[in-house]
Amino acid sequence: MLSGKHVVVIPFPFGGQAWNVANLVLKLAPAAPDVRFSFLNIAKSNSLIFPPPLRSKLPSNVKVYEVSDGLPDGHHGPMEHSGEHVELFLKAAPENFGAAVNAAEQDVRKKVSCFLTDALVIFAAEMAEKMQVPWVALWVPAPYCLAAHVYIDVISELRRESSGGGTSSNNDNNDDKSLGVIPGLSMMRISDLTKELIDDQDTSRSACMLREVGRVLPRRAAAVLMNSFAEVTPTPLIADLKSKFKMLLQIGCLAVSFPPLPLPSSSTSDTTGCLTWLDARDPQSVAYICFGTVSMPSPSEVSAIGEALESTKTPFLWSIKERAMAFLPEGLQERTNAYGKFVPWAPQAQVLSHPACGVFVTHCGYNSMFESMVSGVPMVCKPFWSDNMMNGRMIEEVWGIGVKVKGGTITKSGIEKALEVVLRGKDEKEMRKKAGELRERLVEAAGPDGIAEADFKVLVKLISTS
Ligand code: UDP
């Protein structure tokens, strides 16, 4: 048997958050060199996070294993990343990951000493209990979002009250109700919560998992890690969350580029020439448009963005999914060639930190929002689901570093106005100033004297000694 501990790491493989778990392991590996990390993930997600050329450069105490994704043979392709795929993944996960843990134990010749997983991987609680080892869960979205999950029963009650005791399906008109009864959430509304979380008629595995996670974490996680900086999180929110969990650590944001990681990932290589294209643009002139790895605007919204960029002649870089290209106005690419660039993938963190980047049109995914914040770039927000709406509210109303698309749906005039406000309007300077100040606070929080540094050391100790 080898000396040291053996930590099994499991990300949630859909959307951008698997990167955060991978980045955490890459930070932990050199800090805990005696610990062996077995990274268990589905092949598709692994190929994005650790493409083969990078896999050979991993620290020697990290090994990546492939686990079945739950799709029946022959169903790869169109079904991948669909809601149905998530359901099949969740159904098969306990068995598939159980087998993978056994295989990793045999490979490493060491029993598992700790599970370190995305907090959404709640089946790990069961596994950890059976093996009598701690479960350490990383909550990837923002802290205010975790509070909504923890207070899910209070929220259900609020919805029942506001509907006069009806079921969730007839509550839609009351969703403007404030979440002020929840510590630290006075700025949020029920409408800022994702439908899957509040619709208790939705019995899909993913919706049940979302409603369950806030109940499971306080009872079963030895520690909850937050992907955030304490210095920019409202104190009442953190004080309350600390009282809910056995241990709460704020280890800083693990987004791809901040702080720089020892290993480049697929998201940092500029294969599409975005950075050289940006080099030729004026400072703070370009609108960068991207809606993350999963979300996609409707066909009419894609078309409206294109029309608005053309009518305002705004220089733009658009990371656009191939299937969305068909919805662009006819001939737009040719007509905007002199000032616009379409790419299937951009090295986003670097694009946002480029001096030419003036505004980010975003779905308000947590990683995207954070990458924009550390670059001091104001945002135009079109939230879709999950934590997007809460992030959008913080960006516009609390931090004052962006505007939401009016009415929630993208229109040509809505984008024209939003671009005008952020790039050229009377509040532009103030917004950019606030974005710069927030950036400064984040840089300081990420420094050697920040809480994240101290909490990270606690985490290293926890996984090295448990
Ligand atoms: N991303 C990127 N280039 C792209 C599209 C996305 O690098 O063209 C990265 C982005 O930088 C972010 C992640 O993908 O780190 C998306 O995560 P986020 O939490 O913002 O959204 P999700 O995809 O989970 O909805």
What beta strand segments (E) does 146-250 contain?
223-226, 248-250
**Ligand 1 atom at minimal distance to the Cα of residue 268:** 7
**Backbone φ, ψ for residue 139 (5° rounding):** -90, 110
State residue 261's pLDDT score: 45
Q: Distance (Å, rounded) from C-alpha 116 to C-alpha 113?
A: 10
Is residue 124 within 8 A of residue 67, CB to CB? The reply is no
pTM of the model: 0.91
Ligand 1 site, CB within 6 A: 15-17, 19, 255-256, 267, 290, 292-295, 319, 345-349, 365-368, 371
Nearest CA to ligand 1 atom 6: 292
Other C-beta atoms within 10 Å of 458: how many? 13
Average pLDDT across the chain, whole number: 91
Share of the chain above pLDDT 90, in %: 79
What beta strand segments (E) does 96-194 contain?
114-118, 135-139
Q: Distance (Å, rounded) from C-alpha 374 to C-alpha 347?
A: 15
374-393 pLDDT, tens digit per residue, is 999 999 999 999 999 999 99
Nearest CA to ligand 1 atom 11: 348
- Which amino acid is located at 298 in the chain? S
Residue 263 pLDDT level (bands cut at 50, 70, 90): very low
For residue 367, the CA-to-ligand 1 centroid distance in Å is 6
State residue 1's pLDDT score: 45
Among 139, 267, 342, 361, the mutation site with the greatest number of ligand 1 atoms within 8 A of its Cβ is 267
93-123 pLDDT, tens digit per residue, is 999 999 999 999 999 999 999 999 999 999 9
State residue 264's pLDDT score: 42
Residue 359 pLDDT level (bands cut at 50, 70, 90): very high
Among 368, 379, 381, 391, the mutation site with the greatest number of ligand 1 atoms within 8 A of its Cβ is 368
Q: In this structure, are strands 379-381 and 223-226 parallel, antiparallel, or unpaired?
A: unpaired
